[in-house]
A and B are shown apart, each in its own frame.
Chain A
Amino acid sequence: MKHKTFFWFFLPTALAMFLFIALPLTSIVSQSLHTPHDAGIWLLLNRVIHLVVNLKLLLIIRQVKKSTKSKPQGKWVGFQIYTDRNHLAFKEVGEFWESKTSFIDFVSSLNDLPFYRAMGFTLTYTFVVTPLVILFGFIIALAVNSLHRHLKGFMVFFSLLPMIVTPLVGSLILFWMIDARGIIGSGLQELFADPTLSLKASTGLTWITLIVYGVWHSAPFAFIVFYAGLQTVPQETIEAAMIDGATRFQQTIHVIVPHLSPLVAFVALIQLMDNFRVFEPIVGFSASAHATSLSWIIWNDIGQEIRLLSSAATTSVLTIIGVIILLMPVLIRTWREFNPEK
């Protein structure tokens, strides 16, 4: 395909991604360095759009000039917002480091700082849910694959539901069930003979609830991918292993698992990306008193009566840096594959 043809084919999607992903990215970076907000890039775009739309050239330029004057660029504050108490909190962390005697004390005191609190839950959630999803999905795939043909389709249908359903809706459904008056909540109370037991009351139980929700929501994805992979396991290798006297368990470990390992990498990549943005279950389970995530604090800043855009933008930038660090291994691997000689 010629460069020129490629350009025209690709232009619409590139334009959409440039205007609504790349430009907002630069805009949040600039927002995070200014207070209360900076409209530099957008003002420029604003001008262009006004020019195109209205074609009343002089009038518009005058207007834009006036609006620029009446709404001066936000004050440049550099990395001040990044280091304040609601974000990286350098001062507070330094003080904790000085005053706390043990390392565990230090880590638990970080819990009082909103950003580190959110970071703690986000990372725990991501790195607990992802392996559990892979393990659970693999077991379901093995079990369903050994069923009768007619049962398989039926199982796939019901297995898709937790994944397909809107995260907020799915978490609300479970939230009502674990309510002290709901079926699971009251069942647990009877099981442990403790009428005051509530899954929402303590931080530990809330975290466990959210993680269980995460596994429930994502295991179907891993299941479907592994299930598709199981259909392509070479039968000759299995038979050869059987003849060599491998037990069923050994066959699974030494033949099936290596065959599925590229799929594990794929599922892990998608799951890391998706779990890192955990947000809806915290809203659905009304869990913000015990667990917050990076996405949730952005939401909380924007949702305030006075929208804290600079603060939200700063957290956004930090989150994006986190995503890039998370993706680094994949990016490096792809880079190596693409430049094998270097």
Chain B
Amino acid sequence: MTSNQIKRPLGLQLLIYGFVLFWLILAAFPFLWTMWGSFKVELDFFSKGDWTNVFSGVRTQVVYGKSFTGAGYEGAWIQEEFWRAFFNTAIVCVSTVLISLTLATLGGYALSRSGFRYSFWLLIIALVFRALPPITLVSGYLQPFYDWNVWGTLPTTIIVLVAINQPFTLWMLHSFFQTIPKELDESAKVDGCTQFQAFRHVIIPVMWPGVITAGLFSFLLAYNDFAVTALLLSQENQTMVPKIASFMGTTQTEGNIMFAVAAVVSAIVPLFILVMFFQRQLVSGLTAGAVKG
């Protein structure tokens, strides 16, 4: 590419930089704007008259005597008990990731090492399951969950999320294990290991990059889920996303829209941190399936 770059005409160069800047603003500005605005009062965040009010914080100054306020966060986290939703999300995400990784690692490894016809069909079935919108399954869950009296609890939701995540995680780990040479565990088996011992002593030490990537995506699926968590969790067990959705109904009428803004920003921050630390793994995970074709 270097030889290309030197000869690029100025017009094209400007076009490229202009477009990149346009995309950068499109991608980043909404988040930065909302984060900044979450420390203001509603009349500043939604300032019809003069949009620079968000930066100067005129109204915020009038109400609180300074141009920043944590009132939205206080209202959301303490008054509306968003901290409860935060901890519920933490429990749900961590458990979902741990359980679905355990199951999918074993399954994905088996699929990658079995050349039989049925392993192909299992992958196709998993692909079809992956394509189903999760919400189509929910009406199938509700009746039995009521009957067994397990509706609304965190463990039920965790198990459902694990199952819904399985097809995707399975595919991802399957294609990862295929990149680990078969000879590695074959030779361990020649040395007298059983398949499981080969897996334990040879594969487990080298599988962590793939497992971490799959874990990240499994975390995101659980963290970002709305349909399942909103319909399967009771009011007091709500995780962050359904809680935010229920804020929309209540706070908009009570004029506490800044609570919802603060809650939304609180839900974004963990994702920001995640992208910051795991950018490389996320990118490799997104392309893993693609490179396989």
A295 touches B166 (CB 8 A): no
A225 touches B290 (CB 8 A): yes
Q: For B33, what are the chain A residues with a Cβ–Cβ distance below 8 Å?
A: 177, 183
B140 touches A27 (CB 8 A): yes
Instruction: Provide the A96-128 mask, 1 if CB < 8 A to any CB of B, else 0.
Output: 000000000000000000000000000000000
CB nearest to B133 among chain A residues: A277
- Of B47, B114, B163, B245, which contacts A283 at CB under 8 A? B245
| Any A CB within 8 A of the CB of B87 | no
Q: What's the count of A-B pairs with C-beta under 8 Å?
A: 288
Kindly state the separation between the CA atoms of A169 and B262 in the bound complex, as whole angstroms. Answer: 11
**B250-292 with Cβ < 8 A to chain A:** 260-261, 264, 267-268, 271-272, 274-276, 279, 282-283, 286-287, 289-291
**A146-191 with Cβ < 8 A to chain B:** 146-147, 151, 153, 155-162, 164-170, 172-174, 176-177, 179-183, 186-187
Contact-residue size bin, chain A (C-beta under 8 Å from the other chain) = 35 or more
Which of the 9-residue segments B58-66, B68-76, B104-112 touches chain A?
B104-112
| Any A CB within 8 A of the CB of B210 | no
Please give the distance in Å from B50's CB to the nearest CB on chain A: 10
A168 touches B31 (CB 8 A): no
- Of A42, A182, A331, which contacts B46 at CB under 8 A? A182
| Any B CB within 8 A of the CB of A1 | yes
Q: For A27, what are the chain B residues with a Cβ–Cβ distance below 8 Å?
A: 140, 143-144
| Any A CB within 8 A of the CB of B180 | no
Interface SS majority for chain B: helix
Q: For B196, what are the chain A residues with a Cβ–Cβ distance below 8 Å?
A: 5, 9
CB nearest to A319 among chain B residues: B136
**B187-212 with Cβ < 8 A to chain A:** 194-196, 199
Known contacts A9-B107, A158-B27, A161-B28; decide if A228 and B283 are in contact (CB<8 Å). Answer: yes
Contact-residue size bin, chain B (C-beta under 8 Å from the other chain) = 35 or more
Known contacts A169-B244, A176-B261, A334-B124; decide if A10 and B275 are in contact (CB<8 Å). Answer: no
Kindly state the separation between the CA atoms of A327 and B124 in the bound complex, as whole angstroms. Answer: 11
**For A167, A173, A303, which residue has the most chain B Cβ atoms within 10 angstroms?**
A173
**B124-155 with Cβ < 8 A to chain A:** 124, 126-144, 147-148
- Of A12, A37, A156, which contacts B143 at CB under 8 A? A37
| Any B CB within 8 A of the CB of A238 | yes
Instruction: Provide the A134-147 mask, 1 if CB < 8 A to any CB of B, else 0.
Output: 00000110011111
Kindly state the separation between the CA atoms of A62 and B78 in the bound complex, as whole angstroms. Answer: 49
Kindly state the separation between the CA atoms of A262 and B263 in the bound complex, as whole angstroms. Answer: 41
B131 touches A327 (CB 8 A): yes
A5 touches B195 (CB 8 A): yes
- Of A1, A179, A276, A330, which contacts B110 at CB under 8 A? A1
Please give the distance in Å from B227's CB to the nearest CB on chain A: 6
**A1-22 with Cβ < 8 A to chain B:** 1-3, 5-6, 9-10, 12-14, 16-17, 19-21
Kindly state the separation between the CA atoms of A221 and B194 in the bound complex, as whole angstroms. Answer: 41
A146 touches B1 (CB 8 A): yes
Q: For B126, what are the chain A residues with a Cβ–Cβ distance below 8 Å?
A: 17
| Any A CB within 8 A of the CB of B10 | no
| Any B CB within 8 A of the CB of A216 | yes
B107 touches A46 (CB 8 A): no
CB nearest to A298 among chain B residues: B135
Kindly state the separation between the CA atoms of A177 and B51 in the bound complex, as whole angstroms. Answer: 11
Instruction: Provide the B1-22 mask, 1 if CB < 8 A to any CB of A, else 0.
Output: 1011100100010001001100
CB nearest to A294 among chain B residues: B133
Which 10 A-B residue pairings sit nearest by Cβ, starting from the closest?
A: A24-B140, A20-B163, A13-B107, A9-B110, A277-B133, A181-B46, A316-B136, A228-B287, A27-B140, A312-B139
| Pairs across A and B, CB under 8 Å, 14 listed | A2-B195, A9-B110, A16-B163, A21-B137, A160-B275, A167-B224, A170-B30, A181-B48, A186-B48, A229-B290, A266-B289, A277-B135, A283-B245, A326-B131
